[in-house]
Structure 1
Amino acid sequence: MTGPVLAVDQGTSGTKALVICPERGVIGTGSAPVNPRYQSGGRVEVDPASLLSSVVEAGRQALSRAGEPVAAVGLANQGETVLAWDPDTGEPLTEAIVWQDRRAEPICAELAPHAEELAQLTGLPLDPYFAAPKMAWVRRELTREGVVTTSDAWLIHRLTGAFVTDAATAGRTQLLDLDRVAWSPRALDIHGLTGERMPEIVDSDGPVGITEAFGTKIPLTGLLVDQQAALLAQSVTEPGTAKCTYGTGAFLLAQTGSRPRRTSNGLVSCVAWRLGGRTSYCLDGQVYTAASAVRWLTELGVISGAADLDPVGSAVPDSGGVTFVPALAGLAAPWWRGDLRGSLTGLGLDTGPGHLVRALCEGIAAQVVGLTDAVAADLGTPLTGLRVDGGLTRSALLMQTQADLLQLPVEVSALPDVTALGVGAVARLGLEPGLTVEQAVPAWKPSAVYEPGISAAQAAERLAAFRAEVAALLDRTPTAP
């Protein structure tokens, strides 16, 4: 068996790196912040240089703390964040437009007549969340120079000189033919991107090139988009199983096997990973604001940070009749209404911080229930439980609320940083082709299991109140701009 690997997770608000030994587990860690700029009009940008420097800094920290060399490196990425850059020099030509950015809404409105065709071709609904509308906006508004790609292709190029993206990340663009796992000329044409130089689509587990960014020559052998990396690390490898990651947003993915399953319930059908030339698919649903809604409450002074969720929320027995639809960046699956704004209703003179915290937890959890319902409808069978990870899983209040509304056990991962662990696993698969996925992925074990603490009738009542507020929002904003 080969030695440790370096696994780097380049995320929205920071980059984490782990040195993972197959016998001893995590032997070194590193992290570096990334500071996206949230601007008016739903714009979210980040300096590309900070993405690259965070990868290098976090990776070097982890290697220094491990104190021993690694055999390979894996890189996970944000998925739908895009930028234009010079393929000769590697220099960025624009800021990186973050996945949360909504500036491409007018382009999506223009392309609305093609929405169904795009969904059938690519598995993705027409929404500014995905990369292609942002890429089209960059070409229309910023520059025609260089190439325009997702952030991973730029990072890989800066690290190794290669011009590639993995199949799962390509599946987040709305430019991938989902059945052929190849760039779709028709999708490129619809988005006005005909003739663009696109990165080569590669397997997640394969040598891409050599990087010297971390001080010594290390082969880059693992690539995967962040949520799919978490799916792999949670051992969600069989159809009908699902995981949810609670980070900046909340992301639920359910494995569907070797064939793509087109959704009829507002989810996304996409590539889970391609390993050894074999493609696995998944259904995917998103909640745009989870930890970012906690940050919003923090900036308002209601709480001092995520660590306050449990003590503040537990000071009251319930939400006091307050309903919070945390659509602070719009509603994603299954509604796909990025134009909607959030709502807080049921406020009174007796409403306190604890009620707002509980209402937020219920609002996040209720949206996740909507996603699990959609997955069950698409698969034709209900889920039997939910595996969860991410920073917000440290909130017992949120996790208990999730189990209550879901009426299923919620299993919290005992392993932190599952995205990095997932891409570390594919890096090891790229290094040792004879390994199986089961051998490469750490054994699944929950640190806590939350069982429902309320009746099905009580859960239905709370969900009905939330859905009534969503319906009211939809009624007030009948059509997207």
Structure 2
Amino acid sequence: MTGPVLAVDQGTSGTKALVVCPERGVIGSGSAPVRPRHLPGGRVETDPHELLDSVVTAGRAALADAGEPVTAMGLANQGETVLAWDPRTGAPLTDAIVWQDRRAEEICEELGPHAEELRETTGLPLDPYFAAPKMAWIRRRLTREGVVTTSDAWLVHRLTGGGAFVTDAATAGRTQLLDLDTVDWSPRALKIYGLAGERLPRIVDSAGPVGTTSLFGGADVPLTGLLVDQQAALLAQGATEPGAAKCTYGTGAFLLAHTGDRPRRGGSGLVGCVAWRLGGRTDYCLDGQVYTAASAVRWLTDLGVIGGAADLDPVGSAVPDAGGVTFVPALAGLAAPWWRGDVRGSLTGLGLDTTAGHLVRALCEGIAAQVVELARAAGGELGAPLASLRVDGGLTRSALLMQTQADLLQLPVEVSALPDVTALGAGVLARLGLEPALSLRQAVPRWRPAAVYEPRITATEAAERMGAFRAAVTALVDGGR
């Protein structure tokens, strides 16, 4: 059995690192903030150096907290965040354009005639959320020098001292440049995006040695696990069989449902993508996104309505319901299943008697209602409704949001007892990379919910509340045409 491993989750607003022992669990932790810049025109950028520094800082803090060496490292990444960089020196040539950024909308509009072909090839709809539109924008507007990749390839290159130029199959699947059937770069997709001559990272399994790093001090540590963040959470939640689903409530909310060893390209509006590739075998999943979850809470905080996420429950519990207020928190557009990045949020039903509590409840209902739409779409694709939903992420600390989720979903919501689930998924892969004979069942921590929220309202009331939300979304979508 391997010793402890270092598991790192490099996220949008921060990096979390854990030292995980297969026998004792988490024995060390560390974190470091990341401060993305939100600019006019839907632009969101981050200094690449801050991403790398956060990985090193969080990792060193976790190792110091554990007080013992590790045998390997796993890294989870943001997925669709991209930058251009010099492969000889590792120096960034641009800022990192974050997954939330909308600047590539013009490219997506231009490529509209190719939308169906791209969806059939890659499983992804044509939307600036994904990496390829941003990569093409960088090439058109910023620089033709160096390479342009997702952030993981740059981080791995820097961590390994230039020794590796790779990306895992699931992260490659977030670009809209991966053939979903062959799990290799698609020459046709590259041509459509004007990226045919680009030098792209080698696609590797999610578990296996890709190099070593000395940036954490002490002995070199093998890097043996790589995966995009939401798939890492899916793995750590134990959702490894077809039909199992999870939702992570972070900056956005992301629902993934495991679909087995064949890709799906249904008409529900969900994304078909790679879950992970292990030992050359690819597992697939369906993916749905809510662009603003914790970021919507931050927005309400910036307005002074609440003091922070910790205020959701006390402020929201001061009133019995949303008081007729409906909030569609599409503050960065609507993702799955609508794919209307041009649409912006709405607050309706306001009155002189509307309080901060009503706004908080309406926000919780707006986030939860979008997740309901994703869960129903996933059930339709799978041919059977979900039986329950496993959840993780910072916003699961809000009992109000979780109860609202169970009420509108009309299903049990099981909150993970394990903190930092995405990092734990990276740790699972680090172990598998060192011990390929291990099975997923042996490597994945046993599922233990810390709490289970059961629906407290009737199906009729849930349908009424969902109907009000859908009517508000329809008004937005129709008004934006």
Q: TM-score range by the shorter chain?
A: over 0.9
Tell me if 1:375 matches 2:375.
no
CA shift, 1:227, in A, is 0.1
Tell me if 1:47 matches 2:50.
no
Inter-partner Cα distance in structure 2 for 1:247 and 1:159: 26
The secondary structure found in structure 2 opposite 1:355 is helix
1:345-384 map, 5 Å: 345-384=348-387
Match of 1:177 among 179, 183, 186: 179
Residue in 2 that maps onto 1:127: 127
Residue in 1 that maps onto 2:33: 33
Q: Deviations over 1:217-238 (max 9, x none)?
A: 0000000000000000000011
CA shift, 1:379, in A, is 1.1
Query: Unpaired runs of 5+ in structure 1?
Result: none
Counting aligned pairs with the same residue, the percent is: 81
Inter-partner Cα distance in structure 2 for 1:8 and 1:361: 29
Residue in 2 that maps onto 1:148: 148
Tell me if 1:222 matches 2:225.
yes
Query: Unpaired runs of 5+ in structure 2?
Result: none
The secondary structure found in structure 2 opposite 1:62 is helix
Q: What amino acid sits opposite 1:30 in the alignment? A: G
Q: Which runs of 4+ in 1 moved over 4 A?
A: none
Inter-partner Cα distance in structure 2 for 1:53 and 1:134: 23
CA shift, 1:377, in A, is 1.0
The secondary structure found in structure 2 opposite 1:423 is helix
Residue in 1 that maps onto 2:60: 60
CA shift, 1:254, in A, is 0.1
Q: What amino acid sits opposite 2:232 in the alignment? A: A
| Greater Cα offset, 370-379 or 387-396 | 370-379
Match of 2:400 among 378, 383, 397: 397
Residue in 2 that maps onto 1:163: 165
Inter-partner Cα distance in structure 2 for 1:7 and 1:380: 35
The secondary structure found in structure 1 opposite 2:425 is helix
1:42-441 map, 5 Å: 42-160=42-160, 161=162, 162-215=164-217, 216-441=219-444
Tell me if 1:447 matches 2:466.
no
Inter-partner Cα distance in structure 1 for 2:30 and 2:259: 34
Inter-partner Cα distance in structure 1 for 2:65 and 2:393: 23
Tell me if 1:462 matches 2:462.
no
The secondary structure found in structure 2 opposite 1:23 is coil
CA shift, 1:187, in A, is 0.3
The secondary structure found in structure 1 opposite 2:441 is helix
Inter-partner Cα distance in structure 1 for 2:104 and 2:120: 21
What's the TM-score once normalised by structure 2's chain length?
A: 0.99
CA shift, 1:2, in A, is 1.4
Inter-partner Cα distance in structure 2 for 1:29 and 1:378: 38
Inter-partner Cα distance in structure 2 for 1:241 and 1:92: 39
CA shift, 1:280, in A, is 0.1
CA shift, 1:200, in A, is 0.1
What's the TM-score once normalised by structure 1's chain length?
A: 0.99
CA shift, 1:452, in A, is 0.2
Inter-partner Cα distance in structure 1 for 2:476 and 2:438: 50
Number of corresponding residues:
478
Q: Deviations over 1:352-395 (max 9, x none)?
A: 00000000000000000000111111111111000000000000
The secondary structure found in structure 1 opposite 2:58 is helix
Q: What amino acid sits opposite 1:70 in the alignment? A: V
Q: Deviations over 1:399-437 (max 9, x none)?
A: 000000000000000000000000100110000111111
Q: What amino acid sits opposite 2:267 in the alignment? A: S
| Greater Cα offset, 433-442 or 130-139 | 433-442
Residue in 2 that maps onto 1:4: 4
CA shift, 1:276, in A, is 1.0
Q: Deviations over 1:91-138 (max 9, x none)?
A: 000000000000000000000000000000000000000000000000
